[in-house]
Amino acid sequence: MRLEPLASRHEDTLWEIAQDERVWTLMRVRGNESRQRFHEWFESVELGFVTFLDGKPVGHSSYLNMRPHDRVLEIGNTWLTPSAWGTGANTETKYLLMKHAFEDEAYLRVEFKTDATNARARAALATLPAEFEGVFRKHMLVRGGERRDSAWYAVIDDDWPRVKGNLLRRLSLAG
């Protein structure tokens, strides 16, 4: 698996692999609704990466809400095509992005937030393990005005050695 910085050349390929409505069910926008809606999503990405599995693009993840002066950033805007679900691609993506944030950029905190109803994402964050920090009620407007409660999780630099060890164990079992 590898990550490649998002560039304009990726837009058409990502559009092609992002047509399954399950990818967008709990995302901020439903990028599969139209080519224009997908383009709007694509243009909104702050610092994104295309996820490749066996040389084929299978999804996307981003750094966002970066606060360098506080040494804090968020990992999110993550989606994978359903064919990549359960392959370890999400686990490895999180590992690579956190490793870079903590070890190369000296961030102190990596945050994650997800729709509070997204049981799949919440289970994945718990198995990192990221610390559950609570639910922000009516946190944001999504999908054309729907109110969303967001579940917040974080890994701090003190947690990173334990989280890293867990992820490496999981990845060695998956490989």
97-113 confidence digits (pLDDT tens): 999 999 999 999 999 99
State which H helix or E strand residue 95 sits in: helix 89-99
Mean pLDDT of 119-141: 93
Q: How many CA atoms lie within 13 A of 93 on its CB side?
A: 31
Average pLDDT, the chain: 94
Mean pLDDT score, 141-148: 83
Which letter, b or e, does each residue of 115-143 get, where b requires 16 or more Cβ atoms within 10 Å of its Cβ? bbebeebbebbeebebeeeeeeeebeebe
Region 27-52: mean pLDDT is: 92
The yes-or-no verdict on residue 28 having pLDDT over 90 is no
Helix (H, G, I), strand (E, B) or coil at 146: strand
Name the nearest CA neighbour of 42 among 3, 66, 15: 15
Give the pLDDT band of residue 142 (cuts 50, 70, 90).
confident
Q: Which CATH architecture is the domain 2-174 placed in?
A: 3-Layer(aba) Sandwich (3.40)
pLDDT at 141 (0 to 100): 79
Q: What's 11's DSSP letter? A: H
